[in-house]
Amino acid sequence: MSISIWVVMLLGGLLVVLAVCVGMSLDTEKQRRERQRVARERYLIKAEREWLERERRQYADRLREWRQQGSPSPIVHRPDDEDMRYEAPSAPVA
C-alpha cells in the first residue's frame, strides 16, 4: 500500500513539473510573438522615416533647381483661397 502512495505522489509531482514546463513554454511563445511584433513595428517606422527623408531631399533639390532657374516659387498662391476658407457660423446670442 505504501508503494502505491509513493507512485501516486511521484506521478502527481511529474504532472506538476509538466504543467510548469508547459506554462513556461506558452509564456516564451507569447514573448517571442511580442518581440516579433515590436521588431516589425520598428522596421516599418524606420522605413517610413527613410522614405520621408528621401522625399524631403527630393523636394529640397527641386526647390533649389527652381530658385537657380529664377522661376517663381513652386508654391502657388491663389487669391481665391481666402474665399474658400470655412468659417463656422456664429452662435446666436441668447
pLDDT digits (tens, 9 = 90+) for 6-43: 888 888 898 888 888 888 888 888 888 999 999 999 99
How far is Cα 36 from Cα 25, in angstroms, rounded to an integer?
16
All three cell numbers of 51, joined, read 522614405
Which residue do the cell numbers 517606422 mark? Answer: 45
pLDDT of 45 reads 94
- What pTM was estimated for this model as a whole? 0.48
How far is Cα 57 from Cα 45, in angstroms, rounded to an integer?
18
Query: Are 63 and 74 in contact, with CB atoms under 8 Å apart?
Result: yes
- The distance from CA 73 to its chain's CA centroid, rounded to whole angstroms, is 36
pLDDT of 11 reads 87
Q: Is 90 helix (H, G, I), strand (E, B) or coil?
A: coil
